[in-house]
Structures are given as C-alpha cells and as structure tokens.
C-alpha cells in the first residue's frame, strides 16, 4: 500500500532546488539514486540525504513544503502577504461560529489565529486544537489562554479527538485533502458533533470563475475543491451548509448538523 516510491530525479525541480539550497552548502549529488530520508522528520523535524531507498512523492512534497514555506516564527506575516483578505477571512470564521459553545474542536490550529478569535466569542468554552506541526502549536500556545486549551499534534486524516463537541472550526487546512479526503473528514466531523452542532469551514476553494483566484498554491500539497462539491459532501454527511462569506477563492461555510 501507500504511494509509489519516487526517486529524487522524479521529484519536481522546485523541491529539488529547495534541498539544494540547504544541504551540504548547496551541493547535492545529482544522481538518480539520491533520495530524501524522511523517517526522522515527523519525530525530530530532521531529514537527510541517503544513497538507497525511496520516498513517496506526496510525503516529500508535504514535508518540504512545511520546511520551506511555513516557518512557525514568520507564518503570521507571510500569510497576510499571501492572502490580502486574511483578517477579514479570519474574522468571518469567528463570526460564523456564533456564541455560547462549551466545547470546541479546531482542526489545523497552526499558530492559533482562528482559535484565538473563536475563543474570544465563546468565553465559557474549552478548545481542543489539532495540528501536524509541533512548532506551529508552540507558537499557538504563546497566544492562547492555555487554561482553556489543549493542543495535540496530529493529522486531520487520523481519528478525531473524542466528542461530543458543540462547535468544530477549521481555517485554511482542509484544502490539503483531496475530494475523497474532504468527504470523509466531513462525515467524521459530524460524528463528533452534538445534534444541532455547528461546523465552520473557512478555506481555499476552486472558484467558478478562475479570474478571482489569487491564493498561491503548491501542486501536490494544496488540493482545493469547488465550493459546490464541498457543499454537496457536507449535505451528504448530514449537515445543512450555508455560505456566509466569500471573496474570490476564499469561502466560509457554516454547516449545522441535522
């Protein structure tokens, strides 16, 4: 099972260039047998060049994307440069979350931008935040009220924390999943929500008119889907979805569990 192994020579040139810039003073042997060993990456945040073996292209793409594009210390500034409507987008996610939730799940917490805003609207709530980057969560812990927050390192493809939750939020995370992955996640979110609970999804979408698309994407890492498809998957998962905000290729959906 798993992805087909790909040698370094088959990996997109952009990723090879990223490796070239940082390994061995910029000198990377350019032989087809050179591969990236990511076995220690998840646990220790380190990777190395080896002469034997292979690595799945998706695994390499995702790991290097985090290594080079998302630096936990500079993410807040970079995301605002990449997404001019970022503040309005995040405020719209928080506004769509309503008030009065007692237990919240935040998927793809990152540096805590969404969680901070949502918690401000739900002063009596506790929040469980999940993100695959331990470094991002370290930044989040510095700006969140940790007496109300539990942060967990994990991927959204993995089993979700045990519910029930009154509210589930996710901003700029779900677009990393393909269509089947999104549909599966929506079903699992419904399973941890209380009846009548709310799922607020804010993310990059494929717009009907490609002209307004402005969010920079990384092939193989970013997999946005048309908004209509996502509304259909939410409905099939037992939600009543409503688009509450949209600007170009960004959208916020409030989906009430039936």
| Strand-pair category, 126-131 with 149-153 | parallel
Of 38, 68, 98, which closes a domain? 68
User: Last residue of a domain, which of 13, 38, 68?
Assistant: 68
Any idea which of 59-68, 140-149, 159-168 has the lowest mean pLDDT?
A: 59-68
Mean pLDDT, range 60-75, rounded to an integer: 54
Of 41, 68, 95, the residue that ends a domain is: 68
Mean of the pLDDT values across residues 162-176? 98
Note whether 131 and 168 are same-domain residues: yes
Region of 227 (left: φ > 0; alpha: ψ -120 to 50; beta: rest) is: alpha
Domain containing residue 12:
5-68
Same domain as 94, residue 52: no
For residue 11, what pLDDT is reported? 44
Q: What is the mean pLDDT of residues 238-245?
A: 99
How far is CA 57 from each of CA 53, 142, 143, 166, 252, rounded to the nearest angstrom?
13, 34, 34, 37, 31
Q: How far apart are CA 33 and CA 19, in angstroms?
A: 15
Query: Does residue 94 contact residue 121 with C-beta atoms inside 8 Å?
Result: yes
pLDDT bin (cut points 50, 70, 90) of residue 68 is: very low
pLDDT number for residue 62: 52
User: Looking at residue 77, what is its pLDDT?
Assistant: 80
Token pair for residue 155?
């991927």
Q: Are residues 108 and 26 in the same domain?
A: no
Give yes or no: residues 120 and 208 share one domain.
yes
Geometric angle at alpha carbon 233, from 231 and 238, rounded to 5°: 95
Same domain, 225 and 164: yes
- 61 and 82 fall within a common domain: no
For residues 172 and 111, the answer to whether their CB atoms sit within 8 Å is no
pLDDT grade for 230, boundaries at 50, 70 and 90: very high
Residue 80 is predicted with a pLDDT of: 87
Residue 20 has pLDDT above 70, yes or no: no
Residue 81 pLDDT level (bands cut at 50, 70, 90): confident
- The per-residue pLDDT for range 84-102, each reduced to its tens digit, is 899 999 999 999 999 999 9
Residue 34 pLDDT more than 70?
A: no
User: Quick one: 188 and 204 in the same domain?
Assistant: yes
- Do 242 and 130 sit in the same domain of this protein? yes
Question: Residue 19 pLDDT more than 70?
Answer: no
Is the pLDDT score of 155 beyond 60? yes
Distance CA 150, CA 144 (A): 10
Number of domains present in the structure of the chain: 2
Rounded Cα gap, residues 208 and 210, in angstroms: 6
| Statement to judge: residues 102 and 50 lie in one domain | no
Block residue for tokens 């967990």: 152
Distances (CA, A) of 72 to 69, 76, 138, 175, 243: 10, 8, 8, 19, 30
130 shares a domain with 12:
no
Question: What CATH number is given to the structural domain containing 181?
Answer: 3.40.50.150
More confident residue, 117 or 70: 117
Greater pLDDT, 121 or 8:
121
């Amino acid at each position: 099972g798993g992805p087909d192994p790909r040698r370094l020579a088959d990996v997109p040139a952009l990723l090879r260039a990223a490796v070239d810039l940082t390994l061995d003073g910029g000198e990377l042997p350019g032989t087809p047998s050179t591969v990236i060993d990511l076995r220690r990456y998840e646990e220790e945040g380190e990777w190395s060049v080896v002469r034997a073996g292979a690595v799945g292209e998706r695994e390499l793409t995702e790991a290097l994307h985090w290594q080079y594009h998302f630096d936990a210390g500079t993410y807040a500034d970079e995301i605002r440069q990449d997404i001019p409507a970022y503040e309005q987008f995040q405020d719209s996610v928080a506004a769509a979350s309503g008030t009065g939730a007692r237990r919240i799940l935040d998927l793809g917490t990152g540096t805590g931008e969404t969680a901070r805003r949502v918690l401000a609207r739900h002063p009596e709530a506790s929040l469980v935040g999940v993100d695959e980057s331990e470094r991002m969560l370290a930044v989040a812990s510095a700006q969140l009220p940790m007496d109300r927050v539990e942060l967990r390192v994990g991927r959204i493809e993995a089993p979700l924390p045990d519910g029930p939750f009154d509210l589930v939020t996710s901003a700029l995370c779900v677009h990393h999943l393909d269509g089947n992955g999104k549909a599966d996640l929506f079903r699992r979110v419904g399973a941890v929500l209380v009846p009548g609970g709310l799922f607020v999804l804010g993310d990059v979408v494929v717009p009907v008119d490609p002209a307004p698309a402005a969010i920079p994407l990384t092939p193989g890492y970013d997999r946005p889907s048309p908004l209509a498809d996502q509304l259909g998957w939410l409905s099939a998962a037992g939600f009543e979805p409503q688009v509450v905000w949209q600007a170009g290729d960004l959208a916020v959906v409030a989906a009430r569990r039936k």
